[in-house]
Amino acid sequence: MTAPDQLLANELEQGLRGLGEACDSFAPRIGVREIGHVRSASAGIARVTGLPNVGYEELLRFPRDVMGIAFNVDADEIGVVLLGEHWQLQAGDEVERTGRVMDVPVGEELIGRVIDPLGRPLDDRPAPRGSRRLPIERPAPAIMDRAPVAEPLQTGIKVIDAMIPIGRGQRELLLGDRQTGKSSIAIDTILNQRDKNVFCLYCAIGQRTASVAKAVATLRAHGAMEYTTVVVTEGNGPPGLSYIAPYAATSIAEHLMAEGQDVLIVYDDLTQHARAYRELSLLLRRPPGREAFPGDIFYIHSRLLERATHLREEEGGGSLTALPIIETEAQDISAYIPTNLISITDGQVYLSPSLFELGMLPAVDVGKSVSRVGGKAQFKAFRREAGALKLAYAQFEELETFARFGARLDEHTRRRIDHGRRIRASLRQPEASPVPVAEQLVVLMALNEQLFERVPLERMPEAEHALRAAVTDLPEALRRRLQAGEVVTAEQHARIIEVARDAVASIAVNPEDSQEGTTS
């Protein structure tokens, strides 16, 4: 036998020996698989038979990587909410139980990513590998595990931080007609969390692709994606994905909250979520109620928003602040879904189409907006300055309405109206330009001291810009005190007013010039 033949014979002998050892060590494992079949598939749902032991909300696996959630567990068939395209399925396809409920990957690996509710990447990067997976449906923290909402979450928007404060762990509703700036306020709030140790999640539910792309581009341009995760379902996607999207995003946020982090989550918007759930319920032939919504429409939102809270120190001390967005029609805030959300949340910020058309941006209607946490979640310095400002602004709105009837006004009333107009002008703010706490406080102090009274209304933005730039002239210790929201002493307050008066002086009009202009 030649050397190559001998080598081949040795290799064959070793292979047979290894095969014999593998056969000796083989222990067959018996597993039970429960398989059913698709009876029918239509837009968003499928009807399945042959799974007698399936559980409610159990995850089912269909061919071609389509997943579904068992929603209606009836005696003769199962109504399944599809999480993929229905046209990939046909009658007779096999359906297999997974033995688990719908879950989502969680962890800091998701920060900076754009994903769908199933955890699949949408940003042309590799799939995120979360260290853990959590069910999308989880019970809300118990009452005894919660702490009072006492720490502010600064939005950087003057009218909200001063008059409608939001605390960490609060649920504040943003509502208004379409195209009134609801999403812009939410995006600006995310931008303002830079360097504040607050992680953010932006959940776009059934939005137009162009709108989502614009929001993501804004976040990237301002460096906000470094601490933000975006969960997206497109408007032309399956309604099942739109239904599970806010629950999946909340589970991602809860994981960070459980580790002691402060988290902000934006649901944009829950109107699309309610419509997706209504569509699924009608397709599954559940009994309709008011406006064709199913009877448990209140429950699907309450069990979602109740997961937002501030945990006690013993539980980690983290917080989850929710900013749900809802769309009204023809300014009707007493419609079914808006009233449901108003009753669930801790306050609302109402955006008025009338103010939007007048160019008053952000178009926040202070009279219809409220924060039920109030000053408890506000810096002490803000509370001190905003109290008088809110009263003056409310009086101005009443007097302005009265003045429209052409009534003769005395000098005192005219001064109040002029002061109110300057308050309203100072509350205007461009998009994507959050204002730091110190600069907000200096503007509020100047308003309370009526330093803008001699400034023409058309030059108010210029005067405010000069005032904010003058904050850098303050001593470093005083600026840090203002940035921390601490109450300043009388001496420090006088110093701030002196700097503010000098900054505004170059833009203010002399009383003599004002009287000459009025006479002419």
Asked if the structure places residue 9 within a domain, the reply is no
Check whether residue 82 and residue 166 sit in a common domain.
no
- Burial (CB < 10 A; 0-12, 13-18, 19+), residue 197, is exposed
Dihedral of alpha carbons 501, 506, 512, 515, sign: negative
- Burial (CB < 10 A; 0-12, 13-18, 19+), residue 463, is buried
Mean per-residue pLDDT, 274-301? 95
Q: What separation, in Å, do the N-terminal and C-terminal C-alpha atoms of the chain show?
A: 124
Check whether residue 88 and residue 109 sit in a common domain.
no
**Which pLDDT does position 276 carry in this prediction?**
96
Asked if the structure places residue 487 within a domain, the reply is yes
Check whether residue 63 and residue 123 sit in a common domain.
no
Check whether residue 191 and residue 249 sit in a common domain.
yes
Q: How confident is the model at residue 13 (pLDDT cuts 50, 70, 90)?
A: confident
6 pLDDT exceeds 80?
Answer: no
**Which pLDDT does position 109 carry in this prediction?**
93
Mean per-residue pLDDT, 426-449? 94
Q: Given 101, 126, 144, which residue is the final one in a domain? A: 101
Q: Given 73, 101, 129, which residue is the final one in a domain? A: 101
**Which pLDDT does position 517 carry in this prediction?**
37
Asked if the structure places residue 93 within a domain, the reply is yes
372 is catalytic: yes
**pLDDT tens readout for residues 394-426:** 889 888 877 777 667 788 888 999 999 999 999
**Which pLDDT does position 1 carry in this prediction?**
57
Q: Given 345, 378, 411, which residue is the final one in a domain? A: 378
292 pLDDT exceeds 90?
Answer: yes
77 secondary structure, DSSP code: -
Distance CA 458, CA 303 (A): 48
106 pLDDT exceeds 80?
Answer: yes
Check whether residue 343 and residue 438 sit in a common domain.
no
Residue of 372, 414, 415, 480 with catalytic role: 372
268 pLDDT exceeds 80?
Answer: yes
Which residues span the domain enclosing 294?
Answer: 105-378
Of the ranges 236-245, 374-383, 479-488, which one carries the lowest mean pLDDT score?
A: 374-383
113 secondary structure, DSSP code: -
10 pLDDT exceeds 90?
Answer: no
Check whether residue 144 and residue 90 sit in a common domain.
no
CB neighbours (10 Å) of residue 402? 12
**Which pLDDT does position 406 carry in this prediction?**
66
101 secondary structure, DSSP code: E
Check whether residue 307 and residue 430 sit in a common domain.
no
What's the CATH code of the domain at 237?
A: 3.40.50.300
262 pLDDT exceeds 80?
Answer: yes
Check whether residue 364 and residue 405 sit in a common domain.
no
Mean per-residue pLDDT, 127-137? 86
Check whether residue 112 and residue 85 sit in a common domain.
no
Dihedral of alpha carbons 437, 442, 443, 449, sign: positive
Distance CA 330, CA 327 (A): 10
Structure tokens at 201: 């999640």
Q: Please, which contacts does 191-194 make with residues 24 or more away whose CB atoms are closer than 8 Å? A: 191/156, 191/218, 191/219, 191/222, 191/224, 191/432, 191/434, 192/154, 192/155, 192/156, 192/157, 192/434, 193/224, 193/227, 193/264, 194/222, 194/223, 194/224, 194/226, 194/227
Number of domains the chain contains: 3
**Which pLDDT does position 511 carry in this prediction?**
52
Of the ranges 6-20, 47-61, 122-136, 182-196, which one carries the lowest mean pLDDT score?
A: 6-20
**Which pLDDT does position 492 carry in this prediction?**
94
What's the CATH code of the domain at 49?
A: 2.40.30.20
**Which pLDDT does position 402 carry in this prediction?**
78
Give the containing element (helix H, strand E) for 511. Answer: helix 511-519
Asked if the structure places residue 6 within a domain, the reply is no
Q: How confident is the model at residue 349 (pLDDT cuts 50, 70, 90)?
A: very high
What's the CATH code of the domain at 443?
A: 1.20.150.20
515 pLDDT exceeds 50?
Answer: no
Mean per-residue pLDDT, 73-98? 94
Nearest to 267 by CA among 197, 173, 344, 198: 173
**Which pLDDT does position 404 carry in this prediction?**
74
Check whether residue 147 and residue 228 sit in a common domain.
yes
336 pLDDT exceeds 50?
Answer: yes
Asked if the structure places residue 25 within a domain, the reply is no
Residues 193, 227 contacting (CB under 8 angstroms): yes
Mean per-residue pLDDT, 156-171? 95
**pLDDT tens readout for residues 31-43:** 778 899 999 999 9
Check whether residue 373 and residue 473 sit in a common domain.
no
Asked if the structure places residue 44 within a domain, the reply is yes
Asked if the structure places residue 120 within a domain, the reply is yes
Mean per-residue pLDDT, 222-228? 96
228 pLDDT exceeds 70?
Answer: yes
22 pLDDT exceeds 80?
Answer: no
Question: Is 0.85 topped by the overall pTM?
Answer: yes
**Which pLDDT does position 4 carry in this prediction?**
65
Asked if the structure places residue 452 within a domain, the reply is yes
Check whether residue 273 and residue 244 sit in a common domain.
yes
